[in-house]
Amino acid sequence: MLKKVLVVDDSVAAVKMMQGILEQGGYLSVGLSDPLRIEEAITTEHPGVILLDVVMPQRNGFQICRDLKGNALYDGIPVILVSSKNSTSDKFWGQQQGADAYIAKPFTPEELLETVRKFA
């Protein structure tokens, strides 16, 4: 059975790009560009891994990660933050919010797939 990955980014182009990489790597993917609907998408789609952008309007990836990891319904799902914020402090803050991994944009397809494979 293929592992399902939920891709959350406010940029539809970024979602499509990551979905293409994941599908070439043998994963099922579901894209979401509205960060306010992530819990709904998790409940409906039951992803095994979540790729989560950090810089989004209304609700950023750090907030979402903290909310997911603080909720027993979702805390077992690995969250990989994907962001253009690439400083050591950003990565540290992501870890403090409960992120399982952090990928800096721009990334290579191999880097994305290698990181997802660690959790899928």
Provide the CB-side half-sphere exposure for 84 (13 A, CA): 5
The residue written with tokens 């182009």 in the block is 13
Owning domain of residue 97: 4-117
| Count: domains in the chain | 1
What's the CA gap between 48 and 69, in Å, rounded? 14
Q: What is the CATH number of the domain that holds 79?
A: 3.40.50.2300
Question: What mean pLDDT is reported for the chain?
Answer: 95
Residues forming a β-bridge with 103: 82
Confidence of residue 1 (pLDDT cuts 50, 70, 90): low
Q: Which of 39, 5, 23 is nearest to 116 (CA)?
A: 5
What's the CA gap between 19 and 30, in Å, rounded? 7
Residues forming a β-bridge with 6: 30, 50
pLDDT tens digits, one per residue of 56-96? 999 999 999 999 999 999 999 999 999 998 889 999 999 99
